[in-house]
Each structure stands twice: as C-alpha cells, then as structure tokens.
Amino acid sequence: MINLSHLPRNRRAPEPLDLPPPQCPELGLAGQSLQQRYAAFIAQAVETLPPVQAAALREVGQPLARELLSKAFDLGSSKGHELSDEIYWLVQCAAIVSLYADGPLSAAFAGYRKHVDYYQDMGRFGAQVEAFQHYVAANGLPADEVEIQSRSADDRYRLLVNPWEAGNTHWVYRPRIIDTRQGTRLLAFEDRRWSADSSTWLSAWQVELTLRKYPGNQARRSVQVVIDCDQRLAQAGAQTEIELSELESVVDALLNGADPT
C-alpha cells in the first residue's frame, strides 16, 4: 500500500473577514484582558458625545490604542503568528479606539489609520477595510461639531445634527442619519442650510423629521418627512418610496411650494 500521509491535504481557503465595526472576534493570541478592555472602552465611548472632550476617556483610550497596536507588532514579528488574522483585528481595534480618544482629525488617528489601510489591497481583508472606512465616515465628524438629536429605541439608528448659528440667535441643525451597526451614513444633506427642527421615532426603524431651510422667505416653512431606515426610503408629501439620495432635491421642491406653518 502506498503511504500518502506525507502529501498535503486539501484545505478550504480562508474566509474573507466580514464583521461590522466596532465588533471584534475573539482573539486568543491577544489575551482576554486586552479584548475586554477594548469592549469596555467602546461601550463607554459610544455613549459619550463628543467622546474626545471627555478627559477620562482620553486617559484610558490613548494608552489602550498603543497597547493594541504594540500587540499587533509583537504578533507580526513572532514566528508562527506572523500571518495571523489577529494582527489585522488588533490594528483595527487600535484605530477605532484612537478615533474616539484622539479625534478623527488628529495626527494620532491618522497614524493608526495608515496601518489599517495597509490591508486594503489584500484580497481577504478588502471588504473589512471598507467596512472600517464606512464606520469612520459615519462616526468621524469632528467632535465639537456634532451632537445626537435623537436615536432609535435600540440605538441602531441615530439622528446627528451639526448646529450653527445663522444669525439673530437663529440656530440651524443640519441633519444626518447613521446606522451604528453597519457603520454607514444613510442620509446627509449637502446644503448646510437644512435644519431638522424636530424628530419623532415612530418605530425602531422609522423617524419623522420636521425639515426647514434657512434663510429668507423659507424661514417659516417646513416639510414633514418620514424616513424608513431599514428600507433606506422616505415619504414626503404625496410621494412615497423616495430614495434617500434623492430626498434633498425632492424636499427642496416641496418646500418651495409649501404653505407656511
């Protein structure tokens, strides 16, 4: 009988990485304590807005980001572990911690982000890097320019606003909606004169907005819009199933023909 035990066995190709940030799989090589600290930091950071203005959060986050990246370097230079997926996950975790601890426009975060971007053209990692980029885009507005106006009951969807004073104590609340699970931005208006004066969550996935546009004779006009975050569609006036990418132009047209409220 011919002994074939020395021949290589067929192995399934490794699966692409696919996990919405800021989640992280169990990291056996990194140690349970480090991963628990990461999970605890993220839980606190997402509830602290703007997080970069919280001194206690910075004091915890900045050394944690350094430790996560250092562990990634250790594994990368360790024989037998240099190809481990845990290296990427540690790098991504370090960058996300820095996003909250240092701020999205900081030199520190830019440095961490470069380590994640290094993986962008590596086949199995490409989709995961893209998910990270979406997460940064959804959560990376400068901390002093954003606040949460409202959120869904399960906190999956958040209505964020950029308040600015247009004049004579008139404040404009430029809105955008993010999906915190997928780390994506569902809605954002290009014209900064749009204001979400109020928001009411009709369900865990539907929110009604009162939208106005400053300035001029439109200052007293408003349009009610219902947004289905799950379906990525909106209703405004008699129109239904409006693509969110088209909502700004649709509401602009409705607003020009609306009666003052």
pLDDT in tens, 6-25: 444 444 556 777 788 999 99
The dihedral built from the CA positions of residue 14, 15, 20 and 23, taken in this order, carries a sign that is negative
Q: Are residues 159 and 234 in the same domain?
A: yes
- Confidence (pLDDT) at 7: 43
Q: Are residues 100 and 171 in the same domain?
A: no
Q: Are residues 152 and 238 in the same domain?
A: yes
Confidence category of residue 1, pLDDT binned at 50, 70, 90: very low
Q: Are residues 124 and 194 in the same domain?
A: no
Task: Specify whether the CB–CB gap between 132 and 94 falls below 8 A.
Answer: no
Q: Are residues 88 and 128 in the same domain?
A: yes
Which has more pLDDT, 183 or 142? 183
Instruction: Note if the pTM is more than 0.85.
Output: no
In a domain, 117, yes or no: yes
Q: Is the confidence at residue 90, as pLDDT, over 90?
A: yes
Question: What residue numbers bound the domain in which 87 lies?
Answer: 32-139
Task: Specify whether the CB–CB gap between 159 and 199 falls below 8 A.
Answer: yes
Q: Are residues 153 and 127 in the same domain?
A: no
* Total domains, the chain: 2
In a domain, 85, yes or no: yes
Which has more pLDDT, 166 or 123? 123
Q: Are residues 131 and 173 in the same domain?
A: no
- Confidence (pLDDT) at 193: 87
Q: Are residues 116 and 216 in the same domain?
A: no
Confidence category of residue 260, pLDDT binned at 50, 70, 90: very low
Range in 68-72, 98-102, 168-172, 211-215 with the lowest mean pLDDT: 168-172
Q: What percent of the chain has a predicted confidence (pLDDT) above 90?
A: 41
Q: Are residues 179 and 123 in the same domain?
A: no
Question: End of a domain among 139, 174, 197?
Answer: 139
Question: Residue 99 and residue 111: Cα distance in Å, rounded?
Answer: 11
Question: End of a domain among 95, 118, 139?
Answer: 139
Question: End of a domain among 80, 111, 139?
Answer: 139
In a domain, 15, yes or no: no
In a domain, 3, yes or no: no
> Over the stretch 144-168, which tens digit does the pLDDT of each residue have?
456 788 989 988 898 988 787 776 6
